[in-house]
């Protein structure tokens, strides 16, 4: 699969001392696949997010997350030795045993070194140690091993990749470069096995992949975001996020994307939808953060109203690296309607900045 989007404006550099070594996300980026599924070292921050809702043959439900982060720390061309520190690589792994009521998560940090962690197009691979995504044609093979659980999954795209935003950028704040280049696979048919303890479970379902690369940080008044990936039973998908200000207001650059059954996308601006937390709150015993775990979604122009709930309240990932913020990310179940028709689905909910402001943008 190969496609290209061309825009016209050139990239510019930031003025901050370290960030000035990197490009910013501006209209004008020329997307090309498979190249853009892999590493972009000319941008300071990059991540690949894999999440999914899976079931065993007897209906037992699981959610999973595997996330790879790259944070640039130097673009010095003199740093060519294998152990030179040019980028830090972080990874998060989580498993939600939704019907068993258990949540497991782990993390790791590495430099690239002699092949320890990277995202490499020629190898068709994104990895951090023995956590990896291996591309084989259009399929992606996910492998992740923890002492408590393992994931061995094959993901096949049901639709082409989606480019979010307008003119090739997903704007996050006012001003040039305060944006990301943002690509998703919104429905990846998934099958494989999950090992939990001594139990091996065959699973199948659907996954979602987000890939963003950018340089600019959050605006000083922005403290965090709430983000949802929604896979609806009528074979449509939604990505929605809103960015919260310190005063509790929602940033007007909040946005979303609707993907119809044929893969056609519709950009949603902040005025096109609402995300409203309900009264159900989970208080983290580790960070003290209070997360709203029940949300109401309304998109009047699509006649969609949904409620998003979770089977496990405790799906918070608390980092030890100091780079990634503490955040809640977990599997959700959707119910509601599109006009007079009932509508259901599954998805993932991410919430950041509830204990302290986050250092970078979604």
C-beta separation of 313 from 96 below 8 A: no
Instruction: Please give the model's pTM, rounded to 2 decimal places.
Output: 0.92
pLDDT at 229: 98
pLDDT tens across the length of the chain (362 residues): 333 222 222 222 233 457 788 999 999 899 999 999 999 999 999 999 999 999 999 999 999 999 999 999 988 777 778 788 889 999 999 999 999 999 999 999 999 989 999 999 999 999 999 999 999 999 999 999 999 999 999 999 999 999 999 999 999 999 999 999 999 999 999 999 999 989 999 999 999 999 999 998 678 899 999 999 999 999 999 999 999 999 999 999 999 999 999 999 999 999 999 999 998 999 999 999 999 999 999 999 999 999 999 999 999 998 665 556 799 999 999 999 999 999 999 999 999 999 988 765 44
pLDDT in the model for residue 325: 76
Q: How many CB atoms lie within 10 A of CB 18?
A: 13
DSSP 8-state class, residue 237: E
Taking Cα atoms as reference points, which of 64, 33, 71 lies closest to residue 49? 64
- What's the rounded Cα separation, in Å, for the pair 180 and 24? 8
Coil vs helix vs strand at 271: helix
Q: 225-252 as b/e, with b when 16 or more CB fall inside 10 Å?
A: bbbbbbbbeeebbbbbbbbbeeeeeebe
DSSP string, 160-186: --EE-SBTTBEE-SSSTT-EEEEEEEE
Question: Domain 4-352 is classified in which CATH homologous superfamily?
Answer: AttH-like domain (2.40.370.10)
Cα 139 → chain centroid: 19
Question: SS3 for 92?
Answer: strand
- What CA–CA distance (Å, rounded) separates 182 from 162? 8
Measured at the CA of 177, the angle between CA 174 and CA 183, to 5 degrees, comes to 105
């Amino acid at each position: 699969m190969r496609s290209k989007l061309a825009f016209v404006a050139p990239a510019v550099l930031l003025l901050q001392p370290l960030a000035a070594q990197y490009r910013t996300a501006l209209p004008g980026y020329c997307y090309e696949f498979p190249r853009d599924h892999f590493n972009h070292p000319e941008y300071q921050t990059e991540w690949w997010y894999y999440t999914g809702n899976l079931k065993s043959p007897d209906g037992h439900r699981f959610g999973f997350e595997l996330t790879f982060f790259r944070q640039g720390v130097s673009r010095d061309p003199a740093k060519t030795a294998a152990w030179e520190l040019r980028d830090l690589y972080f990874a998060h792994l989580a498993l939600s045993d939704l019907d068993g009521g258990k949540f497991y998560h782990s993390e790791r940090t590495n430099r690239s070194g002699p092949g320890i962690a990277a995202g490499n197009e020629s190898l068709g691979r994104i990895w951090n140690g023995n956590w990896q995504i291996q591309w084989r044609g259009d399929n992606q093979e996910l492998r992740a091993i923890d002492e408590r659980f393992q994931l061995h999954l094959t993901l096949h795209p049901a639709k082409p990749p989606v480019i979010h935003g307008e003119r090739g950028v997903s704007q996050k704040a006012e001003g040039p470069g305060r944006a990301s280049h943002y690509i998703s696979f919104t429905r990846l048919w998934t099958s494989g096995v999950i090992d939990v303890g001594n139990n091996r479970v065959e699973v199948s379902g659907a996954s979602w992949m987000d890939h963003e690369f950018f340089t600019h940080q959050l605006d000083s008044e922005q403290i965090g975001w709430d983000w949802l990936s929604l896979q609806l039973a009528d074979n449509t998908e939604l990505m929605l996020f809103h960015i919260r200000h310190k005063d509790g207001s929602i940033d007007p650059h909040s946005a979303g994307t609707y993907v119809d059954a044929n893969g056609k996308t519709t950009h949603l601006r902040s005025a096109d939808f609402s995300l409203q937390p309900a009264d159900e709150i989970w208080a983290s015993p580790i960070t003290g953060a209070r997360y709203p775990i029940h949300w109401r979604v309304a998109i009047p122009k699509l006649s969609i109203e949904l409620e998003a709930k979770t089977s496990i309240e405790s799906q918070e990932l608390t980092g030890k690296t100091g780079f990634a913020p503490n955040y809640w990310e977990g599997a959700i179940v959707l119910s509601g309607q599109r006009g007079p028709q009932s509508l259901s689905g599954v998805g993932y909910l991410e919430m950041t900045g509830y204990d302290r402001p986050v250092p970078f943008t979604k």
